[in-house]
Amino acid sequence: MSAVVCDDVVKQYQDVRAVDGVSFEIHEGEIFGMIGPNGAGKTTLMECVEGLRHHDSGRIDVLGHDPAKASATLKERIGIQLQASSLPPRIKVREAFDLFASFYPRPVDTGVLLDRMGLTEKAGSYVAKLSGGQRQRAFIGLALINDPDLVFLDELTTGLDPQARLAMWDVIRDIRGEGKTVFLTTHFMDEAERLCDRVAIMDHGKIVALDTVDALIRSIGSGTKVAFSPDGPAPIAALEAVAGVTRVDEYGDQVIIQGDGDRLLQDVLDALSAAGQNAHNLKTEQPMLEDVFLALTGRKLREGEN
């Protein structure tokens, strides 16, 4: 069962196709991540799915509704954390929770929710005075106030310190643990790797790849790298014969082996000790989602940003 179905969705602004024929599905109960550089169209696409913007062509189905039409009924079942939004100035945390609870027919208990978000002590504080992490927790809390089936989180951890980001990931995993579906955008590769069940890579308004993180990494075919310095002359022929090895290079006294398979490292070391040698300065390097992005687009994700 799919929580979201997009079929050839297009959203055009003047000369720019912000979303250029995008098709994908989000399964119920998964954390679905969309990564891509700023301006790739992630937020525009997400807001079309939320019903806040109207796409020009294609079909969007969210929990069985057309978000452009069934606005109110659908909004009661989804929770939204927007990238560019805020609360009224001078509103306190508890007031914001009570206010938003009043917009829904069956809200959760605001006291329990505040507690779950770790905001009980801050309930009487102005939202504007919270720290970055606390404010993001407050915004997630508001997105969960109607006990939604589908939660949208747009650039949730941007601007958070590493510790607050880790804490936020736990919160999001908990949301999935309750059987809810999560659709998030991020431009942090590690966030997508560690958090998402499936990831779509978006660039120039198109989805260029969509799969689990492992499958995406396998798909670019550059497997594991093993680097070490042997005791003596490297047994090149024996190493090349190891199952899964695709390439062996020597750089001075260092040997770099590329290959695939979960037994690669073990087999290489076995071949080495069969030749009576030990490996020094052993290092392995796994390709990351960043490498997938690089392979697919020819650019680094954060290029031009730093």
Partner 1 sequence: MRAYRQLVTTQLKITLRDPANLFFALIFGPMLVLALGLIFGNTPRPEFHGLGYLDGALAPFAAMVVAIVGLMSVPIDIVTQRESGTLRRLRATPVRPRVYIAADVTIRFIITFVGTMLAFAVGMIAFGVRPIGNFGWVGLAACLGCAAFLALGYALASIYPTQGVAIGVGNILLILLLMMSGAMVPRAVFSPTIQRISDFSPLTQFVTLLRGLWNGEPWGSLWVPVVVLGVMLVVCAAAATKLFRWEPSGTS
Task: List residues near partner 1 by CB under 8 A.
Answer: 50, 52-53, 71-73, 75-76, 80, 82, 84-91, 95, 98-100, 102-104, 142
With respect to partner 1, which residue has the nearer C-beta, 89 or 252? 89
As measured in angstroms, the least distance from the Cβ of 99 to partner 1 is 5
Chain center to CA of 230: 39
As measured in angstroms, the least distance from the Cβ of 37 to partner 1 is 20
As measured in angstroms, the least distance from the Cβ of 53 to partner 1 is 7
Counting beta carbons within 10 angstroms of the beta carbon of residue 15, is it exposed (0 to 12), middle (13 to 18) or buried (19 or more)? exposed
With respect to partner 1, which residue has the nearer C-beta, 91 or 288? 91
Chain center to CA of 105: 31
As measured in angstroms, the least distance from the Cβ of 91 to partner 1 is 5
As measured in angstroms, the least distance from the Cβ of 135 to partner 1 is 13
With respect to partner 1, which residue has the nearer C-beta, 47 or 193? 47
With respect to partner 1, which residue has the nearer C-beta, 80 or 209? 80
Please name every residue paired with 230 in a beta bridge, in sequence order, or none if there are none.
Answer: 279
With respect to partner 1, which residue has the nearer C-beta, 76 or 291? 76
With respect to partner 1, which residue has the nearer C-beta, 100 or 169? 100
The residue among 275, 283, 291 whose CA lies nearest residue 226 is 283
The interaxial angle of helices 162-177 and 132-143, nearest 10 deg, is 10
The amino acid that residue 209 corresponds to is A
- Sign of CA pseudo-dihedral 72, 75, 81, 82: negative
**CA–CA distance, 143 with 124 (Å, rounded to integer):** 19
As measured in angstroms, the least distance from the Cβ of 123 to partner 1 is 14
CB neighbours of residue 207 within 10 Å: 21
As measured in angstroms, the least distance from the Cβ of 31 to partner 1 is 20
Please name every residue paired with 279 in a beta bridge, in sequence order, or none if there are none.
Answer: 230
Q: For the chain, what is the radius of gyration of the CA atoms?
A: 24
Total length of the chain: 306
With respect to partner 1, which residue has the nearer C-beta, 89 or 177? 89
Q: What is the longest distance spanned by two Cα atoms in the chain?
A: 75
**CA–CA distance, 173 with 109 (Å, rounded to integer):** 21
